[in-house]
Structure 1
Amino acid sequence: MSKNREAGVESAPDDPDAEARLRALSSPLRLRVLRLCAFEPRTNKELAELLGLNPGTMLHHVRTLVQTGFLAAEPARAGAQGAREVPYRATGASWRAPLPERSRVLVEVFLQQIESVDPKDLHTAWLGLKLTDEHRDEFERRLHELLVEFKEREADADGETYSVFTAFHPDLNPPSGRDGGT
């Protein structure tokens, strides 16, 4: 058994279910579907329209997410033309699930999602820190605790939806003086 540090989940390297979950979350499109279904159940047709895809293509992605436990079907309902529609809601299982090349997939999803955001509504910050291992661990722990706290809160019924993206990484640009530069 191997332990995935980020997910805190044990899985055998040859576990086909774990492999299927990893493949399901390797698609930026599927991660966007999960976000769209986080607070409101959506049908395959609604998802296809929101993401500009063919409904057949979307159905493949929806089925993959359902089969791996990341989406759950809600009771069927009658659509606008009386056709049977099945809305899907994200289960929240992706929150702690391991993602292959997690950071790169999430960065790609983030960039796709902000393409249509008005620049005045995009608030970003970039901070360089110089930390001991102890303080780095504290920073990561406290940031994670804050994210978990807000994730586990009941959604504000009258609230707006927002996305939060953070990236914490070693700074590969040497600080002044370290490489003899200014």
Structure 2
Amino acid sequence: MPEPDGGGEARAGDELGGEGAAAGVGVRIDCWGRRRSGAAGEGGPGSASGPGPDLGSLRLVQIGGASLSRATAERVGPALGSGLQRVFAMAEGPLILTRPDDPAGTVLGTQGRPLSVDEEVRIVDADGKDLPEGEPGELLVRGPHTPRGYYRAPARDARAFTADGYFRTGRLARRTPDGDLLVTGRVADAPGVG
């Protein structure tokens, strides 16, 4: 939608341009953002006419969903001129994220730790036994951001929750020596969650 000052809105999925393209970041901006004013034809990548999105006010980029390689993560902040925050979340909980003051190694290499200090996290093997730090296994969670069960669905609850109330996320993860989590994939036979 054009603006009177010659600006407009960036389309969802515009390619990262300018310094980002030069840095080879290889990510897409999947958002709606205000375009810079400028002459037609100056356009950014993904646009044959009009300038690219104005990222001048961008302070923090949150990366969630699919895993991001460390090499790509190292390029995102400098290419966009912003900080980086890694996030892992599910509708059933919990919210796991890095903090703005976390060391670079934590932000670049993990999804961080639960938002709530009261969130309990376990990494378990296929038999439900706790694994030592650094070993990959299924991520189980219990706490204030995680429901205690599904509404009127006892059969689903039996598959999705342990006997002691931990939610089986169906995600593979490992814990670092600092207590941060790295989510690495999905459990092949997850109990119908996520």
Q: TM-score range by the shorter chain?
A: under 0.3
Which structure shows the higher helix fraction?
1
TM-score (norm 2): 0.22
Which structure shows the higher strand fraction?
2
Higher relative CO (Cα under 8 Å, sequence separation at least 6) belongs to: 1
TM-score (norm 1): 0.23
